[in-house]
Chain A
């Protein structure tokens, strides 16, 4: 069990949260223009690094809001959490909590 800093509620135990996978995966701007390859990438492929990962969490047993976290997938250490829409491709500067 680790602790996660909800941007709204503060530091809470991991089991209050649910996981949402890779952050900043935007819905395709023009879905009908995608090739099968591109659809496959959007539907089935996500990054899977051993190391720093930007990912989505939802505070399901708390404020029930989604947010982003930067977590190391090897040490499980969370270096920051921040708000931001999924379609943003980069974390906004300075909004970490």
Chain B
């Protein structure tokens, strides 16, 4: 796998307008999901009188804090459909957005370390294939071929018993993905407004009519919430609850190394996921901190735990140095699946609950949410992910395929 040249930085990315008094659609949250939604509203539905309101800077939340793993090998039909749709959009994204995002389909290995892991993994491979998602079961020797630096010996606490492999999966450069969407959305007429925090909503009966912000009230025909870990704080202001708990999720990078890690490796059981970014830093994710938190930082013992497992699996990492750690706030649901669709408030839509795995879904969720906003009705892709599944009981349990135990 060659190292790609960095392209020239474009001289212009987006406008920074002041908010207008009124928009057809206001999107709260300028992360990947909010930006993609704005882009697809403009591109697919011709709705361009749109504002994205971001309380900090664009992509300052989870969007540029994640470990950028992209895959679609989820268990259930509903999940396979939306994540696979997203992966197909990724496959055409550089061209669609006219911007380099370093999307690299280097494959993702999900390791199995127990008999139960093996059974679950083989079942998931078969389910993936039935859904047209590329997936294979690989033996420990094949794991070693795909990623020569992995220790497949018996001398570790949880030896590798095999894994699932999705060749079309991979990584991308997350901040550039955000900029690419932002640039195109801005070109199409969307107002991207930073340092604009939504502090309340104006209502007419059951209908939302606008948002209150630290930069004044803004009228809105429709309002979409794409605020990830902060969703509960917004829905509370809108008068309804969401079954979400916000947790810190941490990641870290090493200093630069020559390219030694050709793919992406995830291990749910020992809690490691690692890839090597194009410049050479090893990018590793940890597990969620179990407590609720909004502090954008987690506890160090979580990272220590994760690193000790990483060094067992990848003995070569023992001499790597930790360069930087950080945390984001992820919005976790009890079935490890997102909530995308209508809300009890007329004219208000939510996209949340993507938890530890919503980067890969940026194109797919943006596509589906834009459709939902434009038609006041969910797209078939997000219909199963409605808020009312927690009442009907039609949960979509993806704990086995979601990455980080939660």
| Inter-subunit contact B293/A76 (CB<8 Å) | yes
Chain B residues lying within 8 Å of A36, measured Cβ to Cβ, are: 391-393
Q: Knowing A37-B391, A40-B390, A44-B390 touch, does A50 contact B301 (C-beta < 8 A)?
A: no
List chain A positions with a Cβ less than 8 A from chain B.
1-2, 13-15, 18-19, 21, 36-37, 39-41, 43-46, 48-50, 53, 55, 71, 73-76
Q: Is the interface of A mostly helix, strand, loop or mixed?
A: mixed
**Is there contact, CB below 8 Å, between A73 and B293?**
yes
For the complex, is B44 an interface residue (Cβ under 8 Å from A)?
no
Q: Would you call B176 an interface residue if the criterion is a C-beta within 8 Å of the partner chain's C-beta atoms?
A: no
Is the pair A44, B299 in contact by a Cβ cutoff of 8 Å?
A: no
By CB atoms of chain B within 10 A, which of A19, A40, A55 has the most? A40
Question: Which residue in B230, B236, B245, B301 is a CB contact (below 8 Å) of A14?
Answer: B301
- Please indicate the chain A residues that have their CB under 8 angstroms from the CB of B301 in the complex: 1, 13-15
Instruction: Tell me the dominant secondary structure on chain B's binding face.
Output: loop
Q: Is residue B290 within 8 Å, beta carbon to beta carbon, of the partner chain?
A: yes
Cα distance A13–B390 in the bound complex, in angstroms: 36
Interface residues of B, count at CB 8 A: 25
Give which listed residue, A50, A55, A76, contacts B233 with CB less than 8 A.
A50
A-B CB pair tally, cutoff 8 Å: 66
In the complex, the answer to whether A48 meets B244 with C-beta atoms within 8 Å is yes
Q: Besides the contacts A53-B292, A76-B293, what 6 more A-B pairs have beta carbons closer than 8 Å?
A: A14-B299, A36-B392, A43-B334, A44-B243, A44-B334, A46-B245
Contacts A45-B243, A50-B233; A40 near B294 (Cβ below 8 A) = no
Contact B292 A55 (CB under 8 A): yes
- Shortest beta-carbon distance, B224 to chain A, in Å? 20
Question: Which residues from chain B sit less than 8 Å from chain A, CB to CB?
Answer: 230, 232-233, 236, 241-246, 290-295, 299-301, 333-334, 390-393
> Please, which residues of chain A bring their CB within 8 A of the CB of B294?
50, 73-74
- 10 closest Cβ contacts across the A-B interface? A48-B232, A44-B243, A19-B290, A40-B391, A15-B301, A50-B294, A44-B390, A40-B390, A74-B294, A19-B291
Chain B residue nearest in CB terms to A69 = B291
The chain A residue sitting closest to B301, CB to CB, is A15
Partner of B230, one of A2, A43, A50, A53: A50
The residues of B that contact A13 with a CB separation of less than 8 Å are 301
Contact between A73 and B292 (Cβ–Cβ < 8 Å)? yes
User: Which residues does chain B contribute within 8 Å of A19, judged by CB atoms?
Assistant: 290-291
Contacts of B300 in A (CB 8 A): 1
Q: What CA separation (Å) do A74 and B244 show in the bound complex?
A: 16
Q: Which residues of A contact B246 (CB under 8 A)?
A: 48, 50, 73
For the complex, give the distance between the alpha carbons of A2 and B393 in Å: 37
A46 CB contacts on chain B under 8 angstroms: 243, 245
